[in-house]
Structure 1
Amino acid sequence: MQRVRSTLCKTPLTQFVIATLCAAGTQVSYAQAAGAQTSGDLGSVQSTAVSSSGNSAAASRKVESAPAQAPSQGSLTATEPQSTISRRYIENSTAPTATYSDIANIAPSVQSVNPNGPGLMESAGVTIRGFQDGQYNVTFDGIPFGDTNDFTHHSTSFFTSQFLNGITVDRGPGDASQIGFATFGGLLGMQSKDPTMTPSASLIGSYGSYNTWLAGAEFNTGDVQQLGDARAMFGYTQSSSDGYLTGAAQRRQNVYFKLEKPLGDDTLLTLFATYSKIHQDVSYGTTAAQIAQFGPNYGLSSDPTSQAFSGYNFDLINTDFEYIGIQSKVAQWAIDNKLYTYGYYHNGFNGMDPNGETPNGTIYGANNVPGQEMNNNYRAWGDVLRAQRDLGPGTLELGTWLAYQTNFRNNFNVDDSLNFAFTSPNFAMNDNFLTWQPYIQYALKLPYGLTITPGVKYASFTRHLYSDMNQGSGTPVDFSHTWTKVLPSLQIHEQINPVWSAYAQYAQGFLAPNLNALYVNNPAISGQPSPEQTDNYQIGTTYKTDRVTASVDLYYVNFKNAVTNQTIGGVTFFQNAGGAIYKGVETEGTYYAGLGFSLYGNFTVNSAKQKGTNDWMPNSPRETAAFGVIYEHGPLTGSLITKFIGRQYGLTGNQIPIGGYAVTNLATGYTFKSPSPWFRDVRLGFQIDNLFNRTSIDWLAGQTVADGTPLYYTVPGRAFIGTMQMDF
């Protein structure tokens, strides 16, 4: 302990971080009363690579410890607030149908709204510190992806939880190496499982409330010496549910494949591919009057004469995601390259006004049911290159991200009564974008475990829209524009001792305007909006032993040209809200109490307000929290965890207040070891989601077209889920 006291006296960063966090905690408490992607990790090929969670090897091997049982935990090596969610939490405490957004919901400052049950429809909203989807990055194995028009994501598409090894939630812009469309809001980084070294097979089946079932299988070849030590993993899952919301059924299929093959002693080849197919009936929200009349689970109707009929409101979605990865050591360089492509093909149908404010009638008949049909199809190609080497007293890292994406979108009116017969066009357009982000940074290693990492990234983004009938204006358009920005960053990280670290960070953020900026008669004359830009400041500290994991951080984001959105009739519109300040304090920790029990908790105080008016930014909770008990001893596991979301507003101007709410989930499991010569393990699981059956309003889904009536989603009611997994 004497060495720790000596180090604290000699390092200004430690003193500054601790003093500032203590002062900030006092200030925020008073204010309330008054009012990874891990950089530089090139994988197993690089001998110095570290775990993204920062666990020591001993801690990771010890099941009955705080780092092993923590639902989410900070990192000793990160240079910004980061929470890592492990495969153990995914398997033991989340529903088999859960998506990445359901899983990430446990992390500090994260809000995930899933009105139909876990994974049973696309998440209505996923926010980090109040930043909306599209204002932060989502990656898979380090590859950024998103929609062409507004960089948002579809939580039920592409990936299932069955092949996720973990999720990293970075709450901040990262260093220069953190690439993506919108680094300033943070990162949800999914990591895929690796094929195992020994042959194995697994079968999984689950059944629960809303007639929800899932079945799947996974096979690992193990190390195949005849194929040069190649190892591969194949998997398939299929699920079906009637959904919590009436009429909102879903059917989903997914297949995945991953192969790893060493090429010599210093190179690893990785091939990955996944394909998914979804049919989902979609509710666009419910009015307060409908909730009062039909209950909080009202979604769609069974009446074929209604625009809310489930047979008129559905999506057909097919997606694929593939990459070829090379990790290698060449001379003094460690190189990681991924060449990738992904595609999203969406054919959607909806009634003209499912909430009943627009009367029936089309050109084919006065009583016929009007509706709309749309297509949104895009294909992306890209490459992510990272390289690093030791140079002098530190490590030099450089790389680049290059991506090109094409998109076709159209929308037209139809007669739902006549098998979606065409009545009139609304728009049809093609667009594409090209983005390029090269970066360079140098991690200078100094005495006392101090590392200073200055870096710079150049962001270039070009949009091109060409259409005979532009959305919004209805006029022809052929226009392109390029936005660029140089983004400096500076990270200071101190490894105080093997179990304690601290950091401070500054970085600039950038996000090019959404495609809707070109939805005007003549974009060249109308002028181009400025991109969203931020200055991010953060400090924090992490402490981690077998007994305790604890993290605390303070953040301040100066936001320029903040964009908000409003959904009317299922169509999202964006507006520039001007400047905004995002700030807050975040904490999380796990304490291992002994006998297999751990206590977990996180708590955040968040503020996101417009500069001019001091109004709250929409969908920005004032607080978030999670707390609970985790148990794992021998064959038995269990967790009882409550997630709390504080008050927020659905629109700018402090309109549509939405109260805070809490949801408690219970999960238990028991593993039978080698119950027969055929099985290696058999695991039985049982979960109760929303144990206390809270069904309050939790999200503003949008507004009706005719009268602007607010539409809401509610917390899905209590659900029971039973699961059996057999490992061979």
Structure 2
Amino acid sequence: MNTKKIACLASTALVGSLLAATAAMAQSTGTDAVEAVVVTASGGPKAVAGVIAETAPKSKVSITQEAIATQASGQTIFQSLNQIPGVSFTNNDPYGSSGGNLRLRGFDGNRVSVTFDGIPLNDTGNYAVYPNQMLDPELISRASVNLGTTDVDSPTASATGGTINYVTARPTKDFGGVATASLGSFGYHRGFLQLNTGEFGPWGTTAWISGSYQSYDKWKGKGELEKKQFNARVFQDLGNGDFVSLAAHYNINRNNNYRQMTMAEYRAFGRRLDFTDTCVNRTLNTTTGSITVAPPTVAGNCSDFYGRQVNPSNTGNIRGSGKFHLADNLIWTIDPSFQYTLADGGSQLGTISETDLRVLGTSNVGKDLNGNGTTTDTVAFFTPSVTNTRRYMVTSSVIWQASDTQRFRVAYTGDYGRHRQTGEYTFLNPDGTTTNVFGGKDGHGKKVFGSDGSFLRARDRYSVAQLNQISADYFGQFLESKLTVNLGLRVPYFERQLNQFCYTSNSNTTSSGIIAGFNAFCTTRAPAQTNADGSVQFANGAGVVQATKYIKPFSLTKKYDDVLPNVGVTYALADNHTVYAAYAEGFSSPRTDNLYTVSLVNGQVATAGVEPETTKSIDVGYRYTTPNFVSSVALWKTDYSNRIVSSYDQDQGISIDRNVGDVKSYGLDAQASWQVAEYLRVSGSFSYNHSEIQDDFRVSSSVVLPTGGKAIVETPEYTWGGRVDWNITENLKFGVQAKYTGERWATDVNDEKTPSYSVIDLDLRYDLPFAERTYVQANVTNLFDEVYFGSISSRNTANGVVTSGGTFSGSAPSYHIGAPRTYQVTLRTQF
């Protein structure tokens, strides 16, 4: 018999309250079947009263569609989760289409397993998560955050921290639909339509299809953000809890970036400093507060121009899922999927001489690239870093319910990602904008050809990321179900196949600090000489050998594996009182860009000394529940080995990793939700996070940065949040929420930090008495127009460090400035 737990989720408040519990937010059909959770209510006073004492030892918080619907229309799901303790999300714009930074107990988004109906959304190469590519919020039935650890079957080779999973709504049995129309500040307009077929065919099949369109202007500077999304799902109930389902998702983003700024730039020019409206070169003097502009010396060569700062992406997936009883006490689940990504970023600006070796190729004669009849110019092109991924995956579980209180499961994950990274040049329009946002990528823009007919490209590599993972867990209840024991083991086997088709500078970094994996030299020209160490050098058109040494194109395979325990115990002390403890280990294999950072060692290509990051985490928690009050508190501790810090460098257009060694962190997460009266609900959360780097960081053979004893970047020590929901009348509902984020360090040596800030949002909903199931909702975000530093691009040191071994120059961190007060109104109808 299946163990069923009824979790009635709150309508507009965050519930779960750090439920150290199994909840219906499973990462896979297998985990969902193991937990066997039934969500039976989602509204009104029943919500708090319906949250029962759970048994699994995982700190988890969950929200329903009712809570998501109170937020601004079209907003990323990460913003809706920002009220949860332990979560810190900085949104880069008011509506969520420009991305943002996620932190979960100090883990950045690369270390958090983010799943969509059980399929992983973390990039196969760098493990990044892109908040602007999430599912339309109207289609999310529920979302959950597992604060401390992954699930035992989490399909990931990167997550050393917790998990975030959201689940798509099932089709309804009756025909109907939902439509919304929204208007807001900065020219915001959005429309959404979903149609449910109701039951059809001989087996009562159900399905829905939806589409949305969103567009608005940047809140500062020139440019716009546009998003189109299409979704569909077909569901077949097979009886006895069994089913098969097939869903599809496709998302198109076309965005202009916001300019990051340093603290000095903010103080001198204010929060509205952005990219230039036209193609000019600009010099900022932060001392005098003056700005000078000049036309580019090379036509189109203007890196601070908004038209060259674009962020396009086409992403999609097909998701299958199925659950089948092989016997009364034996279940098989399977979740196959396919994902597609085409996106670009990078500096998107390149200039090249018409006699450059890459232009010459096998020839010794230059090429007239700009059509002016000469071959003596330097010409500007659009040179994006394009990533094209095709990812095939399956997760599957076999579950044996040995008795009412004993259960066993084995699971398998297979994840195969083909990762093509290119940088084909394409031409510019006369105004400096690009002729195609994907450059010269096949099937998109026009390529730029050199003298020998080969096309110009900034990078050219092909990688394969392959995960084979087995896991097993045991669940048992004892002492009249007061004691619950959960023992699990996850064993990932991960392999990266690397194929670099360009030449690479024979050093780990260039003089500009760009890691060698990005310092590709792509040419069809044959080297002029091969050196004793295996490096090569090229000769120019006049036959003169150039000084730079390169590593030849190469192929490598790197393999990683680990054995990761995941165990926990809960005990019901008395009615309404439960304690639990959990221990789990995490593992994050090196990212693609790390492994393309190579040098020659004894004539052989060797990757940089990048080792997997590992964690050991402990959670101890206590829960107290009554019919009208739910509360929880959790103490936690995480030890990192080989902690890697990543930051995005907007000038170079890449994320740069740095190893800060071992880190120890600990903290507290607490939350409470109280149904004060039938018409009034109050919830609040609090988090404390202390982190400490254990050792100084060696940056060269002679210079050591004093990082020992310092805190991790971008992680606030204190955060708190709160929300009040007040049903003023039967038709009028009011909500207000606040989030406080404490000071955050922006450098590893802790010599620059951001001030703390608080953001308050409110929402007001009126159910139209003359139109059934129709309402108007107004949202105001950042009600008091708080000016604050949002996402951080951190650095080693801002001011520089002088040590006995030498001087290490500083580099100013840069920041996204938080969006100003924003208004939005939405009309929603259900039919």
Length-normalised TM-score, structure 2? 0.76
* Match status 1:277 vs 2:252: yes
Distance in 1 (alpha carbons) for counterparts of 2:577 and 2:380: 64
1:108 to 80, 85, 90: 85
Report whether the alignment pairs 1:607 with 2:690: yes
Once the two structures are superposed, residues 174-198 of structure 1 have per-residue CA deviations (whole angstroms, 9 ceiling, x without a partner) of 4423332334310111111111122
2:174 paired residue number: 198
2:243 aligned with 1:166: no
Q: Which amino acid aligns with 1:337?
A: I
Q: How far apart in 2 are the matches of 1:206 and 1:499? A: 43
AA in 2 matched with 1:515: T
Whole-angstrom CA distance in 1 between matches of 2:382 and 2:810: 18
Q: Which amino acid is the alignment partner of residue 721 of structure 1? A: Q
Distance 2:76 2:792 in 1: 21
Q: Give the residue type in structure 1 aligned to 2:659.
A: N
Counterpart among 17, 20, 36 of residue 49 in structure 1: 36
Residue in structure 1 matched with residue 408 of structure 2 by the alignment: 396
Equivalent residue, structure 1, for 2:753: 657
Code of the aligned partner of 2:556: F
Question: Residues 360-410 of structure 1, C-alpha deviation per residue, up to 9 Å, x if partnerless?
Answer: xx9969897675322111111000112212115511111111100011112
Mark the CA change 1:608 to 1:681 in structure 2 (over 3 Å): closer, same or farther. same
The residue correspondences of 1:573-588 to structure 2 (distance < 5 A) are 573-588=656-671
> Quick one: which of 154, 160, 175 aligns to 2:130?
154
- Matched AA of 2:417: Q
SS of 2:106's equivalent in the other structure is coil
Pair 1:508 & 2:508 matched: no
2:610 and 2:270 map into 1 onto residues whose CA distance is 43
CA contact (8 A) 1:433 1:464 kept: yes
Structure 2 counterpart of 1:692: 784
Tell me the SS of whatever aligns to 1:105. helix
C-alpha distance 47-312 of structure 1, shift in aligned 2 (>3 A) = closer
Task: Tell me the distance in 2 between the aligned counterparts of 1:44 and 1:455.
Answer: 12
State the alpha-carbon separation in 1 of the partners of residues 146 and 610 from structure 2. Answer: 28
Question: Per-residue displacement from partner, 1:422-448 (whole Å, max 9, x unpaired)?
Answer: 596432111011001111111121114
Distance 1:44 1:340, change over 3 A: closer
CA distance in 2, matches of 1:526, 1:312: 33
Moved more, 257-266 or 486-495: 257-266
Moved more, 100-109 or 519-528: 519-528
Deviation by residue 1:256-301 (Cα, 9 ceiling, x = unmatched): 1011112365631101101111110012412345434543133322
Amino acid at match of 2:104: I
Q: Which moved more, 1:320-329 or 1:343-352?
A: 343-352
Equivalence for 2:819: 716
More helix, by proportion: 1
The equivalent of 1:330 in structure 2 is: 326
Q: Helix, strand or coil for the counterpart of 1:608?
A: strand
Find the residue that maps to 1:63 and give its secondary structure.
coil
**How many angstroms apart in 2 are the aligned matches of 1:45 and 1:132?**
26
Distance 1:220 1:499 in 2: 40
Higher relative contact order by CA 8 Å / sep ≥ 6: 1 or 2? 1
Mapping of 1:198-237 within 5 angstroms?
198-224=174-200, 226-237=201-212
Q: Which residue of 1 aligns with 2:488?
A: 455
Cα distance, 1:666–1:68 mapped onto 2, change above 3 Å? farther
* Structure 2 residue aligned with 1:726: 829
What is the CA distance between 1:525 and its match in structure 2? Answer: 3.3
Q: State the shift of 1:126 in Å.
A: 0.6
Aligned to 1:16: none
SS at match of 1:427: strand
Partner residue of 2:66? 88
Structure 1 vs Structure 2 CA RMSD = 3.0
More moved, 429-438 vs 523-532: 523-532
Which of 572, 597, 601 is the equivalent residue of 2:680?
597
**Within 2, Cα distance between the matches of 1:266 and 1:326?**
10
Q: Is the 1:314–1:350 contact (alpha carbons within 8 Å) kept by the matching residues of 2?
A: no
CA separation in 2, counterparts of 1:707 and 1:352?
25
Paired residue type of 1:247:
K
Is the Cα contact below 8 Å between 2:746 and 2:813 reproduced in 1?
A: no
In 1: Cα distance, 2:385 partner to 2:81 partner: 30
* Conserved 8 A contact 1:443-1:451: yes
Are positions 1:121 and 2:88 aligned together? no
Contact 2:29 2:334 in 1 (8 A): no
Alignment-mate amino acid for residue 49 of structure 1: A
Q: What letter corresponds to residue 259 of structure 1 in structure 2?
A: V
User: Is the Cα contact below 8 Å between 1:325 and 1:338 reproduced in 2?
Assistant: yes
Alpha-carbon distance in 2 for matches of 1:61, 1:269: 25
State the alpha-carbon separation in 2 of the partners of residues 104 and 40 from structure 1.
Answer: 17
Separation in 2 of the partners of 1:138 and 1:461? Answer: 18
Q: Which residue of 2 aligns with 1:548?
A: 629
One-letter amino acid of the structure 2 residue matched with residue 316 of structure 1 = P
Return the alpha-carbon distance in structure 2 between the equivalents of residues 508 and 130 of structure 1: 16
The alignment partner of 2:669 has SS state of strand
In structure 2, how many angstroms separate the alpha carbons of the residues matched to 1:556 and 1:47?
27
Deviation string 1:201-228 (CA, Å, 9 cap, x unpaired) is 121001111111110111111222x341
Aligned equivalents of 2:148, 2:591: Cα separation in 1: 21
Deviates more, 1:73-82 or 1:551-560: 73-82
1:266 and 1:116 map into 2 onto residues whose CA distance is 42
What is the count of residue pairs matched by the alignment? 670
1:647 aligns with 2:743: yes
Aligned equivalent of 1:134: 110
Greater mean deviation of Cα atoms: 548-557 or 586-595: 586-595
Q: Is the 8 A contact 1:307 1:369 kept in 2?
A: no
Residues 108 and 586 of structure 1 are in contact (CA less than 8 Å); yes or no, is this contact kept in structure 2? yes
Over residues 503-528 of structure 1, what are the superposed CA-to-partner deviations in whole Å (9 max), with x where a residue is unaligned?
Answer: 21011111111112322135853465
Query: What's the offset of the Cα at 1:415?
Result: 6.7
3-state DSSP class of the match of 1:655? Answer: coil
Q: Aligned partners of 1:152, 1:320: CA distance in 2, in Å?
A: 16
Per-residue CA deviation, residues 580-624 of structure 1 (Å, 9 max, x unaligned), is: 012101001111111411121100110122112111111111011
Deviation at 1:710, TM superposition (A): 3.2
Aligned to 2:364: none
Q: Report SS of the residue matched to 2:260.
A: coil
Partner residue in 2 for 1:246 = 221
Further displaced range: 495-504 or 185-194: 495-504
User: Which stretch shows the higher mean deviation, 174-183 or 431-440?
Assistant: 174-183
Amino acid at match of 2:395: V
Larger Rg: 2
Of 295-304 and 612-621, deviating more is 295-304
Amino acid at match of 2:830: D
Name the residue aligned to 1:12. none
Partner of 1:634: 730
Matches within 5 A, 1:520-535: 520-522=598-600, 525-526=606-607, 528-535=609-616
CA distance in 1, matches of 2:109, 2:826: 31
Q: Which letter maps to 2:64? A: S
Describe the shift of the 1:297–1:279 C-alpha distance in structure 2 as closer, same or farther (beyond 3 A).
same
Residues 297 and 716 in structure 1, CA contact (< 8 A), matched pair in contact too: no
Aligned-pair CA distance for 1:237: 0.7
Does the residue aligned with 2:343 lie in a helix, a strand or coil?
A: strand
Q: Aligned in 2, Cα 1:629/1:152: closer, same or farther, shift over 3 Å?
A: same
Gap change, CA 1:341 and 1:149, over 3 Å in 2 = same
Residue 697 (structure 1) shift:
1.8
Say if 2:684 and 2:723, in contact at 8 Å, map to a contact too.
Answer: yes
Aligned 8 A contact 1:137 1:181 in 2? no
Say whether the 8 Å CA contact 1:81–1:172 is kept in structure 2. Answer: yes
**Whole-Å separation in 2 of the counterparts to 1:300 and 1:37:** 45
**Cα pair distance change 1:694/1:61, threshold 3 Å:** closer
Whether contact under 8 Å (2:713, 2:794) holds in the other structure is: no
Are 1:136 and 1:181, in contact at CA under 8 Å, matched by a contact in 2? no
For residues 311 and 707 of structure 1, do their structure 2 counterparts lie closer, same or farther at Cα, with a shift above 3 Å needed? farther
Q: Could you say what secondary structure the match of 1:501 adopts?
A: strand
Mark the CA change 1:525 to 1:228 in structure 2 (over 3 Å): closer, same or farther.
same
**293-302 or 191-200, which deviates more:** 293-302
**2:720 aligned partner:** 625
Q: Secondary structure at the match of 1:95?
A: coil
Question: Equivalents in 2 of 1:169, 1:671: separation in Å?
Answer: 31
The structural deviation recorded for 1:566 is: 3.1
Matching residue of 2:539? none
Could you say if the C-alpha distance between residues 384 and 577 of structure 1 is closer, same or farther in structure 2, counting changes exceeding 3 Å? same
Alignment of 1:186 onto 2:263: no
Distance in 1, matches of 2:305 and 2:28, equals 50
